[in-house]
C-alpha cells in the first residue's frame, strides 16, 4: 500500500512553518535581499523567532532537548521556509543537518556538550557552521584517488592529547554568526584522502580561529557565507567527532538526509516561482485575454507543475526510505533527492521568468530574486556533476 498523506503532526508542523514564512519571512525577504553589505543583511531577528519555535532543533533527539523529528518532518518544514526565502531556510538547514551528524556520530558526552546548548537556545545565536570546502575546490575535498597529494589540505597534526589545526575553509554557511563550528581536516599526509581525514567541532571563541572574507553573493543574500581560518588552533582530542581517519564516515552519516535538505529547499523556491507565474498568467491580459489562455503559456505552467511535483515526490520518497531501510521496494540513491530537484528549480524559475515577460527581469517583481536563488542549487552541497559521478559508480557496480 502506498500512502501519500502527511500525519496530523506533520500537517501541524507544515502549518506553523507556513504561517512563519507568511508572517515573519516574506514581509522582510525582498528588502533584505537588496542590502548591499552581506554582514548587515543577516536577519538575526527572524532567525531568533524561528529558534523560539524550535525549528533548528527538529533533528536533535529528545534526550538532548530537541524535537526528535524524522527526515520527512525535515522536508515538510524546510519546503515552507524556503518558499519564503531560501537564505533564511539555509541557516536553519545547516543547523538541522549538522546537529544530526553530531547526534548520529557523537558520544553521549559530545551530544550533551554540543547539542543541548543549541536545542535550548532561544536567542538565535547558537547556530552551527561546517567547513569542508577549501580554496582548492569543494569537489577536491571528496577526491577518491589513492595519491596522497590530492584532496583535503587543512591539516590536523596530533600533539599529545591535542590536535593542531592549520588551513582555510571557504564559502561556509553561517560563518561568523554561529556558536559551534565544525571542520574536516587531514591527519596523515602519507595516506589517501578518504582514509586520512577527521571531523572536529569547536566553539567560536577558540584561540587560533578567525573569520576571513564574508562573501558578497548573487543570491541567498539572507544567508551569510565566509572563510574560516585556522592558525595553530589547538583542540583536545575529545573534540573529534567519530574516529581518527574516519572523517568521510562521519560526513556520510548524513549522506541520506543531506540531499533531502537541499532538494527540499529547491522545491520551496520552485513552488514560489510557480505560484507567482500562475497568478500572473491569470491576471496579465494580452489581446483581450489572460496570457494563461494561450497554449504556449498554459503548457509551460503544466510542465512546471509536473516538474515540481516530481521533485517533491522524489524528496519525500527518499525521506521515507530513510525510516524504512528494509523496504522491499529497494532503496533509491539518496542524492537523487538533491540532483533532480535542484536542476528542476533552475528550469522552473526560468520558465516563470519567461511568463512574467520584461517585468520578470525587474527588481520590483519577485522573479529575478527567485532565479538568482535557484541558480546556485546544483552547485552547493556537492556539485551535481560530482554527486552524479559517485552515483553512477554505484549504479555500475550494483
Ligand atoms: C551559497 C553557498 C553555500 C555554501 N555553503 C557551504 C558550507 O556551509 N560548507 C562548505 O563546506 N561549503 C559550502 N559551500 C561550498 C560548496 O559546497 C562548493 O561550492 C561546491 O562543493 C563546489 O565546489 P567549488 O565551488 O569549489 O567548485 P569546484 O569543486 O572547483 O568545481 C568546479 C566545477 O567543476 C566540476 N567538477 C569538479 N570535479 C568534477 C568531477 N570529478 N567530475 C565532474 N565535474 C567536476 C563541478 O561540478 C563544478 O561544475 C557553499 C557554496 C555556496 C555557493
Q: Tens place of pLDDT for every residue, the chain, 398 residues? A: 578 899 999 999 999 999 999 999 999 999 999 999 999 999 999 999 999 999 999 999 999 999 999 999 999 999 999 999 999 999 999 999 999 999 999 999 999 999 999 999 999 999 999 999 999 999 999 999 999 999 999 999 999 999 999 999 999 999 999 999 999 999 999 999 999 999 999 999 999 999 999 999 999 999 999 999 999 999 999 999 999 999 999 999 998 888 999 999 999 999 999 999 999 999 999 999 999 999 999 999 999 999 999 999 999 999 999 888 888 777 889 999 999 999 999 999 999 999 999 999 999 999 999 999 999 999 999 999 999 999 999 899 98
Residue ranges of domains in the chain, CATH in brackets: 8-125 (1.10.540.10), 130-246 (2.40.110.10), 254-397 (1.20.140.10)
Q: What are the residues whose beta carbons fall under 8 Å from the beta carbon of 148, sequence distance 6 or more?
A: 188, 189, 190, 191, 192, 193, 196
What CA–CA distance (Å, rounded) separates 245 from 54? 34
**Residue of 33, 89, 127, 139 to test ligand 1 pocket, by largest number of atoms within 8 Å of CB:** 139
pTM: 0.97
User: Which atom, in ligand 1's list, is nearest to the CA of 139?
Assistant: 29
Instruction: Return d(Cα 104, Cα 199) in angstroms, integer.
Output: 13
Q: Is 199 close to ligand 1, i.e. is its CB under 6 Å away?
A: no
3-state DSSP assignment of residue 377: coil
Query: Nearest-CA neighbor of 60 among 133, 148, 119, 123?
Result: 119
Ligand 1 centroid vs 398 CA: distance in angstroms? 27
Q: C-alpha distances in angstroms, 28 versus 22, 43, 82, 140, 217?
A: 10, 9, 14, 37, 18
Amino acid at each position: 500500500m502506498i500512502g501519500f498523506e502527511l500525519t496530523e503532526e506533520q500537517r501541524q508542523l507544515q502549518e506553523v512553518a507556513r504561517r512563519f514564512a507568511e508572517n515573519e519571512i516574506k514581509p522582510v525577504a525582498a528588502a533584505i535581499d537588496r542590502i548591499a553589505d552581506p554582514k548587515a543583511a543577516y536577519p538575526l531577528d527572524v532567525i531568533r523567532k524561528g529558534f523560539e519555535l524550535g525549528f533548528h532543533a527538529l533533528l536533535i533527539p529528545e534526550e538532548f532537548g530537541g524535537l526528535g523529528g524524522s527526515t520527512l518532518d525535515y522536508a515538510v518544514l524546510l519546503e515552507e521556509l524556503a518558499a519564503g526565502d531560501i537564505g533564511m531556510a539555509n541557516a536553519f538547514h545547516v543547523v538541522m543537518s549538522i546537529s544530526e551528524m553530531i547526534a548520529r556520530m557523537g558520544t553521549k558526552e559530545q551530544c550533551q556538550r554540543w547539542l543541548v546548548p543549541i536545542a535550548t537556545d532561544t536567542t538565535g545565536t547558537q547556530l552551527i557552521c561546517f567547513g569542508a570546502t577549501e580554496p582548492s575546490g569543494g569537489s577536491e575535498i571528496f577526491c577518491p584517488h589513492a595519491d596522497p597529494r590530492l584532496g583535503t589540505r587543512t591539516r590536523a597534526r596530533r600533539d599529545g592529547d591535542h590536535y593542531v589545526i592549520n588551513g582555510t575553509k571557504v564559502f561556509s554557511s553561517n560563518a561568523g554568526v554561529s556558536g559551534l563550528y565544525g571542520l574536516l581536516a587531514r591527519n596523515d599526509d602519507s595516506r589517501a584522502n578518504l582514509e586520512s581525514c577527521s571531523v572536529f567541532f569547536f566553539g567560536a571563541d577558540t584561540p587560533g580561529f578567525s573569520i576571513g572574507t564574508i562573501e558578497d553573493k548573487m543570491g541567498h543574500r539572507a544567508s551569510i557565507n565566509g572563510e574560516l581560518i585556522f592558525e595553530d588552533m589547538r583542540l583536545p582530542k575529545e573534540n573529534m567527532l567519530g574516529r581518527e581517519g574516519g572523517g568521510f564516515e562521519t560526513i556520510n552519516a548524513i549522506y541520506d538526509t543531506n540531499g533531502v535538505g537541499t532538494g527540499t529547499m529547491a522545491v520551496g523556491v520552485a513552488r514560489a516561482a510557480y505560484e507567482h507565474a500562475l497568478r500572473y498568467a491569470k491576471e496579465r491580459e494580452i489581446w483581450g485575454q489572460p496570457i494563461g489562455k494561450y497554449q504556449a503559456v498554459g503548457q509551460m505552467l503544466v510542465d512546471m507543475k509536473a516538474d515540481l511535483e516530481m521533485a517533491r515526490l522524489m524528496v519525500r520518497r527518499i525521506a521515507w526510505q530513510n525510516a524504512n531501510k528494509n523496504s522491499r521496494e529497494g532503496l533509491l540513491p539518496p542524492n537523487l533527492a538533491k540532483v533532480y530537484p535542484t536542476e528542476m528549480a533552475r528550469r522552473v524559475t526560468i520558465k516563470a521568468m519567461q511568463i512574467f515577460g520584461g517585468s520578470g527581469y525587474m527588481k520590483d517583481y519577485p522573479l529575478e530574486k527567485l532565479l538568482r536563488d535557484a541558480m546556485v542549487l546544483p552547485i552547493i552541497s556537492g556539485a551535481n556533476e560530482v554527486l552524479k559521478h559517485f552515483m553512477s559508480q554505484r549504479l555500475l557496480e550494483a
